[in-house]
Amino acid sequence: MLSECGSASDLAGQIEEVTAQVQAGLIDVNSRKRLLAASQRLTVALESPLMTCRRVAFLYLASMNYIEETGIGQWKSTTACESLANAGFAAGVKFNYDVTAPVFLKLPAWLTANNGAGSEKRLETPFQFSVGDPDASFFPWLSKNEASLANFHIWMNTRHAGETHWLDVYPLDKYIRLDEADNLVETLLVDVGGGNGHEARLVKERYPHLPGRIIFQDLSEIIQKCSSMHGVDGMIHDFFSPQPVRGARIYRLHHILHDWPDEPCRQILGHLRNAMVGHSILLIGDIVLPDTNAHSNSMQSDLTMMALFLARERSKSQWVSLLKGAGLCVIDIHTVQEASGESIITAVVDTTIFKEMEVGAVKCDSA
């Protein structure tokens, strides 16, 4: 205790003397180790939680311009700070720190193990390499991690909030003629991998006059939790299985294909191709990369697709090639978000009807 070894001032003086001896190299190795351990314990004991918080949080955040230091011990928030205080952005930080960041940290080792480049035919993805399980699949793995799954959904909803909606800019009416043939179409829309049916319901609300059923499809664990509304029904379906709804006016895939390499994409597209008829169109909502000067947001997404799924974001030429290989013709690419490259790709099995309607391209190669 201080009463036995002198005042705090005397103790401070002794510490300064010992420090001088250490700097002069007069302390042996064992004593040096003991002093180091003791000094670390002393530092922790002397610092109050407020001082630690000041070092770890405020001073560092101020240096990074996340907050502004207005005086000694005084700070105020910035726009960046207020964004991070948003629950949705906070969930995004947590999700990326807990899930994506560990995969990216292992990515150099994965690239080294694969001689600098990974083949899409490999079974092991960077994600599987990171978690140490060659059989792990991202979304099933995520579904077992409740906290990360919750953060993922919150972040996705926040990330896309306020963005231009595809129904606000895509000329859906241009591809649908309300003539006698259209009135005979039993199914207007099949939203493949449509989750809880949110987008399908929006189409029904936006175009209540259009004839035909609207269907959203997904796996059983998702559909069983969803409710139907008049004219909009859920259906259990795995998009790697043959499409049970044939001859629909519109088939839709939104943010599905960028999760998969080319070969699985061809399987998904092949099942849709077999279900489509002359008047059918396929709408693919995904990023279309420019050939040069891609935006950082879209390239970040591209690297994330590689890390998690060994998949990719695709350029216009890559989309045209992928769809042509599945027997589909791209007749239009409509940009929804300029910065991200988010687009709606329109593909058909037969251009004849669409030539008569004077929409889109007249040749697959010209898309």
Encode pLDDT of 308-333 as tens digits: 999 999 999 999 999 999 999 999 99
Is the pLDDT at 6 greater than 60? The verdict is no
> Which pLDDT value is given to residue 182?
56
Spell out the domain ranges in the chain. Answer: 1-46, 58-85, 86-160, 166-366
Strand, coil or helix: 335: strand
Long-range contacts of 94-97 (CB under 8 A, 24+ apart): 94/147, 94/148, 94/151, 95/148, 95/151, 95/152, 95/155
CATH superfamily of 166-366: Vaccinia Virus protein VP39 (3.40.50.150)
**pTM greater than 0.75 (yes/no):** yes
Mean pLDDT of the chain: 86
Out of 258, 271, 279, 295, which one is annotated catalytic? 258
**pLDDT tops 50 at residue 367:** no
pLDDT tier, 119 (very low <50, low <70, confident <90, very high otherwise): low
Contacts of residue 1, defined as CB under 8 A and 6 or more positions apart, other chains included, come to none
Contact criterion met (CB below 8 Å) for 275 and 248? yes
Catalytic, 237? Answer no
Answer yes or no: is pLDDT of 21 > 90.
no
